[in-house]
Amino acid sequence: MQPKILLVDDREDNLLSIETILEPGGYRFVKANSGRQALKVLLNEFDFAMILMDVKMPNLNGFETAALIYEREKLKHIPIIFITANNYGDESMFKGYQSGAIDFILKPFNPDVLRAKVGVLIDLYKKNRLLFEQEQKLIAINRNLEREIHERKTSEEKVRQLNHKLLENIANLESANKELERFAFMASHDLQEPLRKIRMFSDRLFTKYRDVFAEDAKMVTRIQQAAERMQALIIDILAFSKISNDKSAFVVTDLNVVMREILSEMEDEVTEAGATITIEQMPTLAVGPSLIRPLFQNLLSNALKYRRKDIQTVIRVHCEASGSNENGKDNVNRYYRIYIEDNGIGFDQKYAEEIFGMFRRLHHNGGEYAGTGVGLALCKKITELHNGYISARSTPGEGSTFIVSLPVQAPEKHLVPSYSLPVS
């Protein structure tokens, strides 16, 4: 910005002379030929770098004009140099300084001295101007920061309120789930007694009046079969409810021992199916003992149930580690993937997510494949309680592979040192 200087003198030749000397400095000049005219100029303009003003002027002299200029707050920052032909004494000089003068220049003045003194004040003006601009920028930045801080605080408060609401909703959902699980358990438990009576009295009725019923005996048989299916469903719902509420501690368990026990319990079922089951090396993990057995028992039972009749059933269980283990110290992201592969009837891959839903069954075939549709939902719940997950791959007519992923690092539950299962 071009510095602006106000020149005040009642003689035009003096104004021209000063302008000629200072013109090489690249300044912009505004001229006034009296104190009153200078005051009029300063009513509308106050961005002057300095004022060069003659002391001796008619009506208002330089000292009086300076005093009136500095009465205005907006003009107090403008430095004034008085130009005079008289060498005033100390008392008059003091009066000039009291009126606001910065310096005096005596006529006839030395052009170099005039340029030097003006140059010093112009440099000071430029520096002050730069500081002022920086101050304005800082004020603007602070204002923006204050606004951002206010907006952030407002956003944080909204997030806090949403989090609080979310936690309330989660707590309500958990409470509702617990109530539903409790209801399912109680309802299923209470339903078993009337079902036992239905089965008992239908058996007695069939035994006592078998000859009388003749062909109608099929109706009684259907009652018995429906009661059996209902009882199986209730048992599965009870099992699911118990697992959902399982709070037992996780213990370090050798899954090889668990798998051998499961195979020993399923020996008759495996023999009847004519199946070959191969169990490869399994890991030792921190698991819930009451949870891990029904997980693999359900998956192996399904592999036997949905077998093909035209070939021998072959089931293979194997394991592999996955995830990072930097320098052998970090087990947080490591998992063991346990694969249960079979060569059974399989299913369409598009149902790979749906099969883990409650009461979801893909194969009915007029009762050829018995079941309630709870088993895989049970498996999914168990893996989730272990902070793991389960998935499936399959092709119709070629078999299925169920993948159970369990973390190497146990969930945040109380761990007991170890768990030893008896070997069958």
For residues 322 and 284, the answer to whether their CB atoms sit within 8 Å is no
CA distance 271 to 252: 31
Q: Compute the average pLDDT of residues 115-139.
A: 87
pLDDT at 358: 64
350 by Cβ neighbours in 10 Å (0-12 / 13-18 / 19+) ranks as exposed
Query: Quick check: 32 pLDDT over 90?
Result: yes
Q: What is the structure's pLDDT at 366?
A: 47
pLDDT of residue 371: 57
Let me know: does 285 contact 336? Beta carbons within 8 Å.
yes
CA distance 360 to 377: 9
Query: What is the percent of the chain where pLDDT is above 70?
Result: 71
For residue 411, pLDDT beyond 70? no
**Domain covering 4-109, topology:** Rossmann fold (3.40.50)
For residues 249-274, average pLDDT: 89
User: What is the model's pLDDT at position 292?
Assistant: 87
Q: What is the pLDDT of residue 424?
A: 33
pLDDT band for 204, please (50, 70, 90 cuts): confident
Residue whose token pair is 């213990």: 251
For 248-419, CATH number out of 3.40.980.10, 3.30.565.10, 3.40.50.970, 3.90.76.10 equals 3.30.565.10
> Please, are residues 56 and 86 in contact by the beta-carbon 8 Å criterion?
yes
Residue intervals in the chain for CATH 3.30.565.10: 248-419
Query: pLDDT tens digit string along 317-366?
Result: 999 988 655 444 555 568 899 999 999 999 888 888 888 876 666 655 54
Question: What residue ranges of the chain are covered by domains with CATH 3.40.50.2300?
Answer: 4-109
Q: How confident is the model at residue 289 (pLDDT cuts 50, 70, 90)?
A: confident
The stretch 97-123 carries a mean pLDDT of 82
The pLDDT of residue 342: 93
117 CA to centre of own chain: 63
pLDDT surpassing 50 at residue 423: no
Output the six-digit token pair for 337: 């993937």
Task: Output the pLDDT for position 414.
Answer: 45
State residue 227's pLDDT score: 66
Which residue from 283, 419, 290, 302 is spatially nearest to 370, judged by alpha carbons?
302
According to the per-residue pLDDT averaged within each range, which of 87-96, 101-110, 144-153, 199-208 is highest?
144-153
Query: Percent of the chain beyond pLDDT 90?
Result: 23
Cα–Cα distance measured from residue 118 to residue 50, given in angstroms and rounded to the nearest whole number: 8
